[in-house]
Structure 1
């Protein structure tokens, strides 16, 4: 599975693309495109990959991604069978950046610049944006365009927005050896994090010494290799605890933990409750 280029076609009678995906689950699809993208993910929980950022996400996940920034979301089916929704707005670079030359919209420039690393917004903003995206479904093209400007303004006003990818992540169109190696590591990690995966194996995959790999990984992801593997495993465990009736010991084995004590300890470290408590709390809510 390699980094894929996505060809984006505008919505009919529009200069940008508005779309709603309704899915049982979101497959890992590591890709990029030259357009800016607003992505709103609803009724879903899993992992979000943006550049060199890997984070857990939940309901009302709202992001703004700059051009050529690799990304994907990944989730399992919900236990209640409810479909997961992903609203996307994909906007060509030329006309969006031309808008910011107008005195009325020049304030958007810093927002677009920051989006080149990926931006995540607060749930309160995401809920307001949800109403706008829902209204867009039956709106005329001109009304959708006004809605898009309203979304960008809400994002601009969100003082709690968080940057996702590191400033060192190179997203230039030309191939960059360091970014290529990181992309290869991320793809391999996603495919094998429940296996007995070792740093030495990943180091060989990208032709590094083990020590160099550890330094490279920490510098580019701001986490150690072990921390990230455990984070991915715990996220998978949370999904299984919520969406299945499997015993905790079975989930521990599926997620790659060598024994139940280690699983409980790591789960408590990340979630501040035990796996059994997590399952009970989710059912209560």
Structure 2
């Protein structure tokens, strides 16, 4: 089965992505991405697929996966109907590799990253420590999240009871990147033109898909709809302008691609839980403290 390439978007004001999933069960979703991934699965039992490795997993399952290594977990609902929890950190290869290369203090992570190319499973003790780190990451601002990520990587690098998963003969590079290349072109186009008017039909043609197929494909790959993705980019730009300029809110709304100020205010409130004026005022107050 051909793995699907997942497009990973870092969290706002962050160089990497953290996400917590709460699920009734984990569906089979065979995929890969160019980022490193740390995955901690809790309160779940099922089958883990990583490269050519297939084996059961259970509570406190902690692994790190190297770039482009296909993987998925698969489980059924728990007998007591309790939710299954998955903490995921996805870290750009170039960003993390440069960190290790440019900072001698981080060279202790080198073996960890090399072994992650085949998937690396950690001891239950390290998984418990990782659970604490992820709980702190969930509640933290980007700077504290970064510090906790570095702490987690250090703890993982010190685990003497790791287990390499996929075989040395498995080659992740054998997967076709044709669909990935087409979709990446669409994403690049959106990044360059998100303040302009664009429609799904236009983007679907760029990806050589029907509009309905494009909508489904986009949501599966990006974990959000096209409209949600564009609005997040626009509101992110608006936040930067609110903080770094004295431009009027109406002017910022226009620059970010919103057709009217009411829609801008509504979208901003939904994503930031404050109005643009409240956001600007709060940031100015913080800078005076």
TM-score, length basis structure 1: 0.60
The question of 1:129 aligning with 2:92 is answered no
Tell me the residue number matched to 1:78: 78
> Shift of the alpha carbon at 1:70?
0.2
Tell me the residue number matched to 2:24: 24
- Count of residues in correspondence between the two structures: 176
Judge conservation of contact 1:66–1:116 (CA < 8 Å) in 2. yes
Counterparts of 1:106-255 in structure 2, within 5 Å, are: 106-172=107-173, 175=176
User: SS of the residue aligned with 1:125?
Assistant: helix
User: SS of the residue aligned with 1:49?
Assistant: strand
User: SS of the residue aligned with 1:128?
Assistant: helix
What is the alpha-carbon distance in structure 1 between the residues aligned to residue 85 and residue 121 of structure 2?
Answer: 17
Judge conservation of contact 1:68–1:173 (CA < 8 Å) in 2. no
Rg (Cα) greater in structure: 2
What is the alpha-carbon distance in structure 2 between the residues aligned to residue 136 and residue 155 of structure 1?
Answer: 16
What is the alpha-carbon distance in structure 2 between the residues aligned to residue 70 and residue 174 of structure 1?
Answer: 9
What is the alpha-carbon distance in structure 2 between the residues aligned to residue 2 and residue 161 of structure 1?
Answer: 28
User: SS of the residue aligned with 2:63?
Assistant: strand
Change (3 A) 1:173 1:97: farther
Judge conservation of contact 1:20–1:85 (CA < 8 Å) in 2. yes
List structure 1 runs of 4+ shifted beyond 4 angstroms. Answer: 173-176
**Which blocks of at least 5 consecutive residues in structure 2 are unaligned?**
178-289
Change (3 A) 1:107 1:173: farther
CA deviation string 1:146-197 (max 9, x = no partner): 1001111111100100000001111226659xxxxxxxxxxxxxxxxxxxxx
Judge conservation of contact 2:43–2:59 (CA < 8 Å) in 1. yes
TM-score, length basis structure 2: 0.59
What is the alpha-carbon distance in structure 2 between the residues aligned to residue 53 and residue 167 of structure 1?
Answer: 11
Tell me the residue number matched to 2:5: 5
Across the aligned residues of Structure 1 and Structure 2, the Cα RMSD in angstroms comes to 1.4
What is the alpha-carbon distance in structure 2 between the residues aligned to residue 28 and residue 70 of structure 1?
Answer: 12
CA deviation string 1:21-44 (max 9, x = no partner): 000000000000000000000000
User: SS of the residue aligned with 1:13?
Assistant: coil
User: SS of the residue aligned with 1:100?
Assistant: helix
CA deviation string 1:50-106 (max 9, x = no partner): 000001000000000000000000000001111000000000000100111111101
**Which blocks of at least 5 consecutive residues in structure 1 are unaligned?**
177-285
What is the alpha-carbon distance in structure 2 between the residues aligned to residue 174 and residue 37 of structure 1?
Answer: 18
Counterparts of 1:33-52 in structure 2, within 5 Å, are: 33-52=33-52
Judge conservation of contact 2:2–2:175 (CA < 8 Å) in 1. no
